[in-house]
Amino acid sequence: MTYLNRTQPDCTAETILTPLQIKVLAAESSENQRKIKHKFNTIAWAIYEIARLGGYLEHRKNTPIGITVLWRGWLELISLCRGWELREKLEKNTNFKLT
């Protein structure tokens, strides 16, 4: 992912993420959309959002995104996706809608 971010940052995010992961990242980043400097649904956008989930500090703009913060963000993204899947399963199987 980091290599693709350096070499092809404008490539589509579907290159590295599933549609569910993109949907979760978009939902998580919607409140910060005005601050994001990367085009939506690109590899650069996805890496930035994953790093933000891992604790990347936006005020340190000159600091490159490191592998540790990406790993933490990746684990958080996987956890969020699992929660999303469980909610969809709950709504489908019980006709119970959470609001």
Which tokens go with 12? 């589509």
> Between residues 29 and 31, which one has the greater pLDDT?
29
Q: How confident is the model at residue 96 (pLDDT cuts 50, 70, 90)?
A: low
| % the chain with pLDDT above 90 | 41
Q: 51 near 36, Cβ under 8 Å?
A: no
Take residue 21 and report the two structure tokens written for it. 């992961």
Global confidence as pTM = 0.81
Write out the CATH class of domain 2-94. Answer: mainly alpha
Whether the per-residue pLDDT at 91 is higher than 90: the answer is: no
pLDDT digits (tens, 9 = 90+) for 31-79: 555 455 668 889 999 999 999 999 987 766 667 888 999 999 999 999 9
Residues 6+ apart with CB under 8 A from 96: 90
